Amino acid sequence: MQILQVEGSLTCTYRIEGLKYSTFRVVRDELGKRMVATDPVGAREGNWVFVVSGSAARYAAGDFEILTDLTIGGIIDYWPDTE
């Protein structure tokens, strides 16, 4: 799992059947690298989220038939500053 920040939404008018009705979010890591994740939890721009990847992402999406390798598993409300 990784902790990433939601940068915004991604709209796809046409998609393969394997992505079904998925909602997509653009997320970025601490270095600014952007990735796209399916979002079954309703994250908003600016939210910090944890994501699951690989085959676990398909389970986290709520439907094993959705072809994803990055899924938002939850929105982080708080974590203690460890620095």
In a domain, 82, yes or no: no
Beta strands in the chain (DSSP E): 2-10, 24-28, 34-38, 48-53, 70-75
Range of the domain at 26: 2-75
Residue 62's region, left for phi above 0, alpha for psi from -120 to 50, else beta, is: left
Q: Of 72, 78, 80, nearest to 35 (Cα)?
A: 72
Report pLDDT for 46: 96
What span, in angstroms and rounded, lies between the C-alpha atoms of 16 and 23?
13
Domain at 69, CATH number: 2.40.50.220
Q: Per the structure, how many domains does the chain have?
A: 1
pLDDT tens-place values along the chain, 83 residues long: 999 999 999 988 888 888 888 899 999 999 999 999 999 999 999 999 999 999 899 888 888 888 899 999 999 999 887 55
In a domain, 80, yes or no: no
